[in-house]
Structure 1
Amino acid sequence: MTASTETTAAMAAVDDAAVGDPRPGRRWDVLVGVLAAVTVVGLATLAQWRGTLFFYVGDMYEQFAPLWHVFGSQLRSGQWVAMDPAAWMGGNYAAEALNGIWNPVNLANFVLVSYFDNLSLAAFVVATEMLAILAIGVYLLARTYGAHRGPSFLIAVAIPVSGLTLWYEAAGWPAGLAAFTWFVHFWWSARRFALGRLPMIVPFAFGFLAMTAGNPYAPLGLVVVLAALGIELILRRDVGRLLLLTLMGACVGAVALMVFLPLLGASEVTTRQSLAAIANDTFLVPDLGDLAAGSSPTYLPSIANWKGPLDSVPSTYLAWFVLPLLPWLRWSDRRAISGGVGLAVVGAFYLIATLAPSNLWLFRWPFRLVEYLYLVSALGFAVLLSRGLAPVTRRRVGATVGIVAFGAYSAWAVRPDLGLEHLVGLTVVGAGVAAAVVAGRRAGIVALVAVAVVVTGVVSMVQFSAFPSVAQPITSDDEFRPAPLPDGGSPVFSVADMRRGAIEYRGVVLQLADRLSVTTEDTREGRLLFGNLARVADLGAVTSYTGMGFDAFADELCMDYRGAVCGDAVERIFAPASADIDAPLVDVMGVSTLVIQRTLAPRVSDGPPPIGWRVAAADVARVVWVRDSPIAASAGPVTWSSAGIDAETRADSPMTETVDVNADRAGTVVFSRLAWPGYTATVDGRPVEVAEGPAGLLEVEVPAGDGLLRVEYTPPGLAFGRAAALAATVIVVLASVATSLMGRRRRSVANAGLAGPH
């Protein structure tokens, strides 16, 4: 046996001991992992109980939850498209990678959400599901690095309810939560694969889930982990396993082509290209002081965010016990940590990345990487805690008291107005640390873990009761006052309520409204809705949520990423669409319903509608105009053509349009859909030019004569990306089968040798 083989075998033995081999131990690991997931579900339920909209804030209620409902309804009816022109700026689903439309777990959750009327409850269910899966992943990962079951269980409970993961990702950024969850499972399975204890198909499957989550921080994490594992294998001189790991990583990377090539292909017409820069505006940039207070449950970091210079939730909180217990770990124990080099590589990268500037190409807001750094820190903590607590000394007691006091002072220094909350946090942490140390010294690590988990529940209850804070900073001065309603009013969560306000809508619906004067009643009654909430109310709504935008369309209607517009929008839509098109933009867009906010355009909303329109509904917030003769049932068909051209839609679908054209002379046909890159057109099979028309609408040049015009959309790079993902899957399956057969053959030869004569 070679030295490299001996080293690999030794490391595998350590790994087997960590994850519970022989098989009876594995059953215990399954039980403890499931128990960690159940515990996290209980803590998440506690958060939901304390505030029924806890998991329904930010992008969750305007982007994800309502779109999940739309997607699920489409899937149940047998429809699924990569691009929907009816959603306008937000309808290029293939390019909007963050929607995760290629992720099979997402698809199942879309269907699940479609059965809910209460979207806040649906969001809670999906977020809790992912937190539970995350807990299992953290537990398995800690066990793989040599931590005992108790400490592994402890951090498996703590990481899902840490600050960023719970208060931002689970509450409002579910794509980030999914990316982090599948990243953890990939890390665990990739390391097991690197040790020869799992087939290649397992880490590839988790890598596929991580990639198709659509969040760019997942691919970044996979690269970092693969590099760390590769370094481990190089140090072991295991070239064969390194080659297999490289092959597996390349196959996972191939999946990224399917997810991100459509995004890159669409970037030329979107606002994304302006974000690709290296800069620092200090927005969502944490510092070392925020990380150093990670065990103070009431510390609110001084991180610039949407609400001002201070955060209103404990977003950089790690776990109340990690920093205070550091003096009690056996640092002098020189036994090697299984995979310590790999942990150090991953930790060093994420420490540097967390302290990076706000913009590094398409990676914005290093605050999002805090949870990755905390995961590595928690893994190291669990491994060291597995060795038991060090003896009681005055120095250790003093260090722990100092750490706890420093955390409490840091929390008070940032928000001195929350003195009672800080006092409660200090008391709970102080008492919890004392109880944990006493339990650990007298009854062992299992007792310490039991105490720590109970106190984690108490700390969570304190946080859920105190935050979001009843006071928010006012950016114009240093005073505090009761927080106003969220921008755009209190989130509406009932699908039935949203649809109640859209009863009179017909065809393509254009809402002209801003968010400044929207009230809770407006949203709850479905009168004025923004983002993808409008899509739930009526699938014909132009209003949608987009992470990309469409430059020409957004500029023409002065529309933001959630569908809010400026006061000039009313005048602009009734002006000629362009110098060559004398029809008003509202006609060329194919709009049949106009929803005009009274406060945005009081003079227009109080006056009579234009000729050909009628007032269908009116209330204190809006007036609804509907055409006497709607143009089309939905966005997509032809809405304008040059003089001398008759164009009649024969068939239409989200991805294609088929039009009978009778042209006395060559000219232009305009469609009520945006000209995303990827459109092609033919007349009787002959290619014709496709261009971006007024407000970014799709414009096609047709020759003179009669013919059949066919317009088709294909997401740029998607076909190649799908082929690459399929090829990668085939390679991984074949490699898994081959390595399995080779392993069986080696074991058979070894067994035959043992059974032979001596």
Structure 2
Amino acid sequence: MQSQPSPVIDSPVDQPPQPRHASRPGLWLIASIVSVVAMMTLRLIQEPRFLFWDDTQLGAFGQWYGLGSYLLRGELPLLSPGSWQGGNYLAEGQWGVWNPLTWVIALGMHATDGATAAVTAVKIAFLIGLCVGAFLLARAYGAAAHWAALSGFTATAGGQTIFMDAPSWVTGLQTVTLFAFLWWALKRHLDDGMSVIPYFVFAYLLVTIGYVFAVLEIATVLLAFLAFALVARDGKRAFRIVVLGSFPALLAVFVYLPGILTAPVTQRGGADILNDQFLNMDLGDLVTSPIATAVSSVRGYWGDLLPVPLAYVTWLLPLLLLVNRGWRRSLVTLRVPLAVLLVTVALVVGPSVIGPLRYPARMMPYAVLALAVCVAVIFSRGWPQVVSTRRVVAAAATTALSAWLSWAAQPGSWPIVAVSAIVQVVMIAALLWPRVGARGARVAASWLLVASLVVLVPQIARYPSSPLGNFNVPSSVSAMKQVTTEMSDGIFVVGDVYSLQRDPRAYQESLIANLWYATGRDVASVYTVLPFTRYAQELCVDLRGWTCPQAAETLFDANGEGATIADDMALNTVIVIKGPDLTEVTVPAGWRVDEGEFTWTLHRVNPVERAGGVARTDAGVSVSSVTWDATGATFRIDSAPADGGDVVFSRLAWPGYTVSGAELTDPARGFLLTARVDQADVGELVTVRFRPPGWSIELTAVGLAVALAAAYVGWSVVDRRRRTSAR
């Protein structure tokens, strides 16, 4: 659809006439991609597991592998009773159950035995995708191809992306990549009449990954476009933006409402707004962002002093001083990117906790993307034919000032900061060399692209890995599977699971967090971002499966009716990790023990069926014909006392359960799903069924989103044909 000219449309950058061969955007894009691959190759040489780190080891890989296992069986997982607090997949959100791109990745994890290699390939692909997305976005705003290439590399090299998202928090890397493409598709549709279908595709993929910070950025860019349309009193454009924005908004209801409605029973149910200075930044951190090795005082898992250049944005910032023309028109062109940049930075330096939203430093990649686009456009419009000595001195002095402030933030870092500052100043001064600074913008862009890689060499050498943890987990899927060859479904780990990393041989006896999904067994000790409050308190278990030593006794303490938590949870294997507070283990009746070097493994002598069915009934209550699957159970009531009794299930009492033929009552032990049956119900069939809370609203929302997208696409086609006929 061809748009009518509008005063709010970001106009393309004016470029002087060039020979047909001068731009060659494809070659410049390839050069940018090669630079990204070279940067990551250097990092992988330093640390082969650079991209298989922390939450990727404990969360993402096992999650992908587990999802792939479901897909290979022809299933989409909604709930896994045997995974206990980690098994509510739609409430968890980041499983990407509805995301086709995640499906492809999940299936890919089954194509090889090498976990590290598979994950590394996926992340390199997303880094290249981010490079391509930033390149296209810069081009959409009018940047010349050679400067857009610089934008592509810059977008991938920010500190948050390199040291946190790429090694560990992969959903951050995935979503900033898709956001770059979404923004590009949105602008091209609104301003250039490109088909709207790419926008809808990228919006769907982005929202259904389940990373909430990306949704905030979608809202930011849409509101920026809308605000400038309203200022220009362009009602038609404003209406189109509202319609386009309704699509991701409806999808957000579909994806996030289950988690919101589940939150009251979890430890993520808070609504406080506070600043504990945990993984947010201040303006002092940002002024050091041009120095590739600058470390500051961002508080995180490492303590108060940041051990890596997390706030690094780009060394190109001082080079904006070299631009001597075109500023006014560049700023007009870049109104939306500048709005996105300002809002994102405001959130990064804002409170560290806003209800369930934590760690605002995670939004830094979006700021880097917006800034990379701005730099490319400003350079395209105003890069001088001959670089001024005075301006080069000013840029070098600004770099030196940032280096001094970096030293002031952490004086002990002065050697590596000094090395970076010297390298960066030399790269800037090289622009005075006639063969670089006086040969035109394309030569300068080529030099700055190479220099952008060179200035990272000290950073790569000094900071070879993420500041987050390396848990030394196995790289082989077959090694993970080997752990459970003698174990039955229903596995629970007691003790300090983090101690396994001290000796890789310990992973021959136990695994940690989501690595259990590679085994295909039902395991309670998997990773969750939504710990079920009463369950976690009862077993003193954290989100990755660590427990206090007392959990070994708690599991086998019998209630008044003789039932233990191990019975109620249908556990058949309990792994107890040896440690200072776990020097011996008591073997309960009906269990046997195998002792290893690092663990004791308790096995139930007569294994019970996997979790999900009826665990026990009150005295006087008997049931039969019990069947169950992941999302429900049925049984027939054979007897019940006059005052009624309870039927307890081996599954958590998540919000979303309904029952016919009985009624749900207070959960046994505070967390076990429990149904109340009466004597009048004897002979009746009872059905317990789980659907995510708000399921009808969620289905309505996604249905409306699909209908809206289809209607908009249809209208666009008709409108384009009408305009073509009119012409």
Choose from 289, 296, 305 the match for 2:300: 305
Q: Residue 135 of structure 1 aligns with which residue?
A: 131
2:717 to 728, 740, 744: 740
Report what 1:68 is aligned to. Answer: 64
8 Å Cα contact 1:20/1:28 also seen in 2: no
Distance 1:581 1:166, change over 3 A: farther
Matches within 5 A, 1:594-609: 594-599=574-579, 602-605=582-585, 609=587
Q: Does 1:589 align with 2:566?
A: no
Q: Kindly report which structure 2 residues correspond to 1:212-361, keeping only aligned pairs within 5 A, or say none.
A: 212-274=208-270, 276-320=271-315, 322-331=316-325, 333-335=327-329, 337=331, 339-361=333-355
Q: Is the 8 Å Cα contact of residues 646 and 661 (structure 1) preserved in structure 2?
A: yes
Does the CA-based 8 Å contact 1:285-1:357 persist in structure 2?
A: yes
2:391 pairs, out of 388, 393, 396, with 396
Query: What residue identity is the alignment partner of 2:321?
Result: P
| Residues in 2 aligned to 1:42 and 1:392: alpha-carbon distance in whole angstroms | 28
User: Which residue of 2 is the match for residue 663 of structure 1?
Assistant: 639
1:489 shift after superposition = 4.3
Task: Return 5+ residue gaps in structure 2 as ranges.
Answer: none
Work out the CA distance in 2 between the residues paired with 1:130 and 1:20: 34
Matched, 1:572 2:554: yes
Query: Structure 1 486/451 Cα, relative in aligned 2: closer, same or farther at 3 Å?
Result: closer
> In the alignment, which of 708, 729, 734 is matched to residue 685 of structure 2?
708
Q: Which amino acid aligns with 2:619?
A: A
1:45 aligns with 2:27: no
Q: CA deviation at 1:664?
A: 3.7
Given candidates 657, 669, 674, the residue that maps to 1:699 is 674
Change (3 A) 1:521 1:285: same
**Contact preservation (8 Å) 1:513, 1:600:** no
Match of 1:514 among 470, 483, 496: 496
Give the structure 1 partner of residue 454 of structure 2: 458
**Displacement, 1:545?**
0.7
Amino acid at match of 2:719: M
Call closer, same or farther: CA 1:7–1:395 in 2, change over 3 Å.
farther
1:500 is aligned to: 482
Deviation string 1:516-552 (CA, Å, 9 cap, x unpaired) is 6434325663323321123324522110111111001
Q: Does 1:654 align with 2:634?
A: no
- C-alpha distance in 2 between matches for 1:89 and 1:743: 51
**2:143 equivalent in structure 1:** 147
1:165 to 2:161 alignment:
yes
Matches within 5 A, 1:544-583: 544-577=526-559, 581-583=561-563
Residue 117 of structure 1 and its aligned partner are, at CA, apart by 2.4
Structure-2 separation of matches of 1:20 and 1:75: 53
Q: 1:618, 1:46 → 2: CA distance?
A: 43
Q: Shift of the alpha carbon at 1:690? A: 4.5
Give the counterpart letter for 1:189 in structure 2: A
- The worse-fitting range, judged by mean Cα deviation, of 518-527 and 660-669 is 518-527
Question: Deviation of residue 128 (structure 1)?
Answer: 1.4
Partner Cα distance (2:24, 2:700) in 1: 41
Deviations 1:205-246 (A, max 9, x none): 211122112111111111111111112223443221221111
Instruction: Work out which of the residue numbers 186, 195, 200 in structure 1 matches 2:196.
Output: 200
Does the C-alpha gap of structure 1 residues 726 and 523 become closer, same or farther in structure 2, counting only changes over 3 Å?
farther
Q: 2:658 aligns with which of 672, 680, 689?
A: 680
Name the CA shift for 1:18/1:200 in 2 (closer, same or farther; >3 Å). farther
Q: Aligned letter for 2:570?
A: G
- Secondary structure of the residue aligned to 1:309 is coil
d(CA) in 1 for partners of 2:491 and 2:426?
A: 58
Deviation at 1:731, TM superposition (A): 2.1
Q: 1:425-479: per-residue Cα shift (whole Å, max 9, x none)?
A: 2332122222345455221121122122222223334322211479xxxxxxxxx
Report if aligned partners of 1:546, 1:561 keep a CA contact under 8 Å in 2. yes
| 1:374 shift after superposition | 2.3
Say if 1:557 and 1:573, in contact at 8 Å, map to a contact too: yes
> Aligned AA for 2:512?
F
- Write out per-residue CA displacement over residues 680-713 of structure 1, whole angstroms, 9 at most, x where no aligned residue: 122xxx3522542215111111223233332211
Unpaired runs of at least 5, structure 1: 471-484, 751-758
Q: Deviations over 1:107-166 (max 9, x none)?
A: 111111122322222221221121111111111111122211111110111111211112
Compared CA separation, residues 689 and 560, structure 1 to 2 (3 A): same
Provide the C-alpha distance between the structure 1 equivalents of 2:519 and 2:352, rounded to a whole number of angstroms. 36
Residue 532 of structure 1 aligns to a residue whose secondary structure is helix
Which of 197-206 and 284-293 deviates more?
197-206
Aligned residue type for 1:507: D
Residue 457 of structure 1 aligns to a residue in which SS? helix
Contact 1:337 1:383 survives alignment (8 Å): no
The counterpart of 1:610, out of the listed 570, 588, 600, is 588
Work out whether residues 280 and 358 of structure 1, in 8 Å CA contact, stay in contact via their aligned partners in 2. yes
Structure 2 residue 542 is matched with structure 1 residue 542: no
1:171 is paired with a residue whose SS is coil
Q: Structure 2-normalised TM-score?
A: 0.92
- 3-state secondary structure, aligned to 1:352: helix
Segment of structure 1 superposing worse, 327-336 or 147-156: 327-336
CA distance in 2, matches of 1:95, 1:355: 28
Structure 1 residue 495 displacement after superposition: 1.9
| 1:45-69 Cα shifts (integer Å, max 9, x gaps) | 3322321111122211111111111
Letter in 2 for 1:87: S
Quick one: structure 1 residues 237 and 139, their matched pair in 2 at CA, closer, same or farther if it must change by over 3 Å? same
CA–CA distance in structure 1, aligned partners of residues 665 and 191 of structure 2 = 54
Which residue of structure 1 lines up, in the alignment, with residue 620 of structure 2? 644
Matched, 1:96 2:92: yes
Matched, 1:525 2:489: no
Asked whether the 8 Å contact 2:33–2:153 carries over to 1, the reply is: yes
Classify the secondary structure of the residue corresponding to 1:302: coil
Q: 2:421 aligned with 1:426, yes or no?
A: yes
Residues 469-512 of structure 1 deviation map (CA, whole Å, 9 limit, x = unaligned): 79xxxxxxxxxxxxxx9868423332222232322211211110
| Partner in structure 1 of residue 703 of structure 2 | 726
Write the distance in 2 (CA, Å) between the matches of 1:497 and 1:689: 43
Kept after mapping to 1: 8 A contact 2:10/2:334: no
Cα shift readout 1:170-223 (whole Å, capped 9, x = no counterpart): 111111122222222221211222225223332222111221121111111111
Cα deviation for residue 81 of structure 1 reads 1.3
Tell me if structure 2 keeps the 8 A contact 1:512–1:570: yes
